[in-house]
Chain A
C-alpha cells in the first residue's frame, strides 16, 4: 500500500497529458476523413483507448494508486470485455446458423 500520503502529480505532467489528448483528438478527426476501409474503425477505437489510458493513468492517478483500486478497475474492464465478447459472439455468428430475422 502506498502509505505516503498520496503522490502529488504536478502541473507539468497535467499539461503534457492535456497537450497529448488535444493532439490525439486532432489526429482522430483527421483520420476519420481518410478512407481506410475497415481500418477507420480500428484507428478511431485505438486512439480513443490511448486517450482513455492517458486520462486513467495521470488525471485519475491510477499510475500512483494502491493495488486495490487497480484490481477493481481491472475487474470492471474485464467484465465489460465479457459483455462485449459474449454479445458479439452471439450476434456476429448468427448468420452461420441461419437464425431468422438477423
Chain B
C-alpha cells in the first residue's frame, strides 16, 4: 500500500477502485498469516510428538514455569488485542485522537508483555534451565526437562520476536496517525496491522496452556 497525504483515501495505480484494493490487501495479509500458521504449526507438531515421548519430563517442566506471570501476560495480551481492535474502530470512524491513544495503549501492553517475558527468561537462566552448556538439572527426567525447556524457548522466543516486530509496525502507524494520515476511507494499514497483532495473540492463547498449564495438576 502506498502512503497517503492526510486522510484522503489512496488508491494505488494497479487497482481499479478502493473496494478492489481493500479486498486485495485483506487477502494479502491472510496469505501471510497462513504461512505463519504453518511456521508455528511445525513447532506445535514437534511439541506434541516430544510431549508424547517425554510425558513425565514435560509435566514436570510445566512446574518450573510461573503460572502467575504467564497468566498476567495472557491478560495483558488479550487487553492489547482489545485496544488494537479499538484502534481499528477509531480509524474506521475517523477519530484521530482515539486512534493515537489506542495505538499507544497497545504498544504499552505489548512492551509490558515483553518485559514480563524478559523477567521469566531471567529466572530460567538463574535456575540453569536454558538450552545449552549452562543447562543444569538434578532429577529423574533430565532429558525430558531439557527437551521441554528447549521447546519453551523456541516457541516463546519466536512469539516474542513477532511481538517486537509488531511493536515496530505500531510505531510506524503511530507516527502516521499523529500526522492525521488515517481516516474512514484510509484505514487499511491499521486494519492489516491489527490482523497481524491478533494472530500473534492467538499463538499465545495456545502457547500458554500447552507450556504452563498442561501437567500442572500432576
Q: Give the B-binding residues of A (Cβ under 8 A).
A: 1, 3, 5-6, 8-11, 14-15, 17-18, 21-22, 25, 28-29, 32-36, 40-41, 44-45, 47-48, 51-52, 55-56, 58-61, 65-66, 68-69, 72-73, 75-77, 79-80, 83-84, 87-88, 91-92, 102
Chain A interface secondary structure, helix, strand, loop or mixed? helix
A36-B74 contact given A45-B209, A72-B34, CB 8 Å threshold = no
Q: Give the A-binding residues of B (Cβ under 8 A).
A: 18-19, 22-23, 26-27, 30-31, 33-34, 37-38, 41-42, 44-45, 48-49, 52-53, 67, 71, 74-75, 78-79, 81-82, 84-86, 89, 92-93, 185, 191, 194-195, 198-199, 201-202, 205-206, 208-210, 212-218
Q: Are A41 and B214 in contact (CB under 8 A)?
A: yes
Of A5, A56, A75, most B-chain CB atoms within 10 Å: A5
In the complex, what's the smallest C-beta–C-beta distance from B148 to chain A, in angstroms?
A: 15
Q: In the bound complex, what is the Cα–Cα distance between A39 and B71 (angstroms)?
A: 21
Please name 14 pairs of A and B residues whose Cβ atoms are closer than 8 Å in the assembled complex, sorted by A. A3-B19, A10-B89, A14-B86, A22-B75, A41-B214, A55-B201, A59-B85, A60-B199, A68-B27, A72-B31, A79-B34, A79-B41, A84-B41, A91-B53
